[in-house]
Chain A
Amino acid sequence: MRDPGLYDYLPYAGRPKIRWPNGARVAFWVAPNIEFYELDPPRNPARAAWARPAPDVLNYSYRDYGNRAGFWRMLDAMKRCNMRGSVSLNVAVCEHHPEVIQACADNGWEFYSHGTYNTRYLMGMTEAQERAVIQDSIDTIRKHTGQKLDGWLAPALTYTDHTLDLVAEMGLTYVCDLFHDDQPGAVKVRKGRLISVPYSLEMNDVIVYNVNLVSPRRYADILKRQFDRLYAEGEESGTVMCIPLHPYLVGQPYRMAAFEEALSYITGHDKVWLATGREIAQHFSDHYYDAFAQASQSVGEAP
């Protein structure tokens, strides 16, 4: 495939206008990735789990910091800002670290699936294998949190050609895997209705810290600039801003204060809807899905 064919074209200018609850301009959500990386996982032929030969003590322990230390700081900062998380969850954390899951649940956070482990990738799986992974997520999240699984972010952003078709068929309602828009939209799947909710790589602490190598204070500045523009544009039609986090990065002591300052800045605004991924998908589905579908244009054939 040259084009994944996942959505029609809908230019930002001239769309049906989105109105969020209570006249909010921005639907703001925070998506902590609560992950478990295995020390010595079986190898997927398409990708090694670690840069170094096993045991990759440095990279394994770097991730483990998130659950032992970083998560708890991030949780406190979010509580102080009255911000619920939408947890992008490697569901095996339910078994490994139930205390982390309980702390999220106690604060009314949503859980959605980020696969089983962040060291088990989807590439190369048959449909039956991929269905088994998705069913594992549905069952594990139901069993440990009582929640119905609605959202999906593929483990380590790995896919087959059918991943999004399968999550829609199995009853999930939204995905975070597509980065083509600042508003929700329809994903074209074989069966059912699937909404793309804007997540973000640009605001993602992994990209900001480990790819773009910026400083914590600069990250705070980036978050505020992103919010300011989406807030201004949201007066015309509601926008979405997501901050995807990884406790092993944002939860480092030298990064916490700058992050909390930005979070407090954003959540301190009047017309911001402090939402979860599920709530944003639901509101869009109920009120704008059809209007957006009607306004969309089919994509032409590339020469």
Chain B
Amino acid sequence: MTIPDSYLAYANRRYGMDHDRYDWSMLPQRKPVVWPNGARVALWVIPALEWFPLDMKGVPFKPPGAMQTAYPDLRHYTLRDYGNRVGIFRVMQALDRHGIRASVAVNAAVAARYPTLLQECTRRHWEVIANGQDMDHLHHAGLDPEVERKIISDTLALLRKASGQAVRGWLSPAKSESAATLDLLAAAGVDYVCDWVNDDMPYAMRTKAGALHAMPHPVDIDDYTILVQNHHTEDDFRDQLCDQFDLLYKESETQGGRIMAVSLHPWVIGQPYRIKALEDALQHIMGHAGVWAATGSEILDAWSAGQS
């Protein structure tokens, strides 16, 4: 094995990032953000409604939650679908109790397969954001750009028609992108993308088709990571959500408004033995003064208004 000397050359070794998609920026050194009514923390809840096809190809990789056994993997197919039939309704009840409107990330396939489920969301004035076509259509470098463009435009067209909303937000399945995804999203009228986990606040991205913002949609502290991947208990998950909120709430005292983003998968958190963890965490959060429960678009608009 030999290494060419070019391996020791660093073309992008310079001030800032090693790419041009966004600028380097330090969280505590930014102009403090002011939320409506002087709120300290914007609570942004993002349940995902996902459909994992039984014959998943897993190209270029299997997303979290994918089929695992030999075909036909009925156990994982049906357990994921549990979220759309049962789990989401427990999540709705938990949010309704506090009047929290979610931004629900929907696979186009879910909207097509279960139109009444989407109506349950829009009836609550939840924001619908696009979560791609389904969990087996990942955006990646090997995808023909025209194919990717069509997946994005078809997905948005279906969700816009079904929801009657502008559908301004986008979450790529498994947060996987090609080098062109951001450009294609901006060209398709998407205002914000939820794939990047490098910040606690919105920030501007650069695309060939104009403005696009990254919103802080977390993966490290979502229900799938903590409960399924890390095997923590429900009480541990509740504690971590509360600790997350407490730190952000405290930080907002000196550094301006913060965002508490709660990413949920109803097939995980919507199980009977787990839902109370969410309920208790929301009770803790909503018991504080200065919490603004809002949708992604509302948060982004309020943030943008303060940037000029």
For A89-107 the 0/1 string (1 means CB < 8 A from B) is: 0001001111100000000
Chain A nearest CB from B33 CB (Å) reads 14
Interface pair A44/B7, CB less than 8 Å apart? yes
Contacts of B25 in A (CB 8 A): 68
Which of the segments B69-77, B90-98, B156-164, B226-234 contacts the partner chain? B226-234
List the B side residues contacting A123 at CB < 8 Å: 1
Q: Is the CB of A99 within 8 A of B197?
A: no
Residues facing B in A47-99 (CB within 8 A) are: 51-55, 57-58, 61-65, 67-69, 72-73, 92, 95-99
The number of residue pairs between A and B whose CB atoms lie closer than 8 Å in the complex comes to 139
Contacts of B244 in A (CB 8 A): 252-254
Cα of A45 to Cα of B142 in the assembled complex, Å: 21
Q: Contact residue range for chain B?
A: 35 or more
Contacts of A252 in B (CB 8 A): 220-221, 244
Interface residues on A, range: 35 or more
With A54-B141, A98-B15, A256-B247 as known contacts, state yes or no: A62 contacts B220, CB within 8 Å.
Answer: yes
Q: Which one of A40, A42, A253 contacts B7 once the chains associate, using CB atoms below 8 Å?
A: A42
B198-257: which residues lie under 8 A (CB-CB) from chain A? 198-200, 219-221, 229-232, 236, 239-241, 243-244, 246-248, 251
User: Which residue in chain B gives the minimum CB-CB distance to A258?
Assistant: B243
Q: How far is the CA of A255 from the CA of B236 in the complex (A)?
A: 12
Q: Is A39 close to B, CB under 8 A? A: yes
> Which A residues from 220 to 269 make CB contacts under 8 A with B?
252-258
A117 at interface, CB cutoff 8 A: yes
Interface residue A124 (Cβ < 8 Å from any Cβ of B): yes
Interface residue B196 (Cβ < 8 Å from any Cβ of A):
yes
Q: Is A207 an interface residue (CB 8 A)?
A: no
Contact between B18 and A253, CB atoms less than 8 A apart: no
Question: Which residues of chain A are near B232, meaning CB under 8 Å?
Answer: 213, 215
Chain B CB within 10 A, most for which of A72, A217, A252: A252
| Nearest CB of B to A13, in Å | 37
Asked if A302 lies at the interface with its beta carbon under 8 angstroms from chain B, I say no
Assess whether B37 is interfacial by the CB under 8 Å rule. Answer: no
Stretch at the interface among B174-182, B285-293, B298-306: B174-182
A72-B27, A99-B26, A117-B10 given; A65·B199 CB < 8 A:
yes
Interface residues of B in 1-58 (CB under 8 A from A): 1-3, 5-8, 10, 12-19, 24-29
Assuming the contacts A53-B140, A57-B175, asked whether A129 and B240 have C-beta atoms less than 8 A apart, the reply is no
Contact A57 B243 (CB under 8 A): no
B148 at interface, CB cutoff 8 A: no
Is B60's CB within 8 Å of the partner chain A? yes
A19 at the B interface (CB under 8 A): no
Minimum distance in angstroms from A120 CB to a CB of chain B: 7
Interface residue B136 (Cβ < 8 Å from any Cβ of A): no
Q: B16, B24, B175, B240: which contacts A254 (Cβ < 8 A)?
A: B240
| Residue numbers in A under 8 Å from B179 (CB-CB) | 54-55
Q: Report how far A120 CA is from B5 CA in the complex, Å.
A: 12
In contact, B15 and A95 (Cβ under 8 angstroms):
yes
**Taking beta carbons and an 8 Å cutoff, which residues of A are in contact with B?**
36, 38-40, 42, 44-46, 51-55, 57-58, 61-65, 67-69, 72-73, 92, 95-99, 116-117, 120, 123-126, 129, 132-133, 213-217, 252-258
User: Can you name 7 extra interface pairs (CB under 8 A) apart from A52-B140, A68-B24, A92-B10?
Assistant: A54-B179, A55-B178, A57-B195, A123-B1, A129-B7, A252-B244, A258-B243
The 6 A-B pairs of least Cβ separation, nearest first, read A254-B244, A64-B198, A61-B198, A213-B230, A253-B247, A61-B196
